[in-house]
Amino acid sequence: MSTSELSITKRRLLGGIAIAAVTMALTACSDSEDKAASTEAKPAVSNETTASTTPAVEIPTADRDVDMEAALKPGPLKEMALGDPNAPVKIIEYMSMTCPHCAHFHENTFEAIKTKYVDTGKVYFVLREFPFPQDTASLAAFMLARCTTEDRFFPFVSTLLKQQRTWAAPADGDVRGAMLQMSKLAGFTQESFDACLTNAKLAGDVSAVRDRGAQEFGVQSTPTFLINGKAYSGDMSVDSMSALIDSLL
């Protein structure tokens, strides 16, 4: 992406968030949707080594290897992370704020994984921005999350994902207005909302996080997880991610 494309203006962010772009992001956020659906549809593999009839959960298959040491190096923005950096399992999630698969993961899987593994020192979890080019709604949502205080970042992201269609695809098509109302619940005023979304440097830094993920680590779809040197694309259930984490402990 060129420097001019990274220079987000007030007109583009506040007046040019196109509902068409949001709709496209909501329907095509993940090239790995079919792969994820196929994985979930596969029958569980029976555990033949025990007398139990409880089916074993199939461990997700990695797409490719990644240099995890390089991936864990911070980019242009401060890492938004939870857990112990020295935990044995390290997870980096690249996500889009308008991606329904990302919303599904954070609504149905993330909290359980956080409680079971992050809070117990077994997993270090990093969340990174991946707003697709031209998806100004996702870019703006990430910028607003970055404009909150650090302790409010994850709760604000969670709220936006849970209410994704409310602000990303409102019935009246007024994405900016819906986003403003959601932001006011998090303590934004009209002035702080406008100031955040007209911060060209922040817009460029968020986009640079995405570009680095794509260019250096091959991220092409959301959500994509980098876990202990392997890349996995697509949503994961609690059972699937737990099986993968357990295999690494």
Q: Which of 211, 215, 213 is nearest to 224 (CA)?
A: 213
Task: Give me the pLDDT at residue 12, please.
Answer: 47
Residue 230 exposed, middle or buried by CB count within 10 Å (0-12, 13-18, 19+): middle
pLDDT of residue 173: 87
Tell me the one-letter amino acid at 181: Q
Task: Give the DSSP H or E segment for 177.
Answer: helix 175-185
DSSP string, 11-28: IIIII---HHHHHHHHHS
Reading the chain (249 residues) residue by residue, the pLDDT tens digits are 433 433 444 444 444 444 444 444 444 465 544 444 444 444 444 444 444 455 678 899 999 999 999 999 999 999 999 999 999 999 999 999 999 999 999 999 999 999 999 999 999 999 999 999 989 999 999 999 999 999 999 999 999 999 998 999 888 989 999 999 989 988 999 999 999 999 999 999 999 999 999 999 999 999 999 999 999 999 999 999 999 999 999
- For residue 29, the model assigns a pLDDT of 64
Give 79: exposed, middle or buried? Use CB within 10 Å, 0-12, 13-18, 19+.
middle
Alpha-carbon distance 177 to 164, whole Å? Answer: 14
Task: Take residue 33 and report the two structure tokens written for it.
Answer: 């949707």
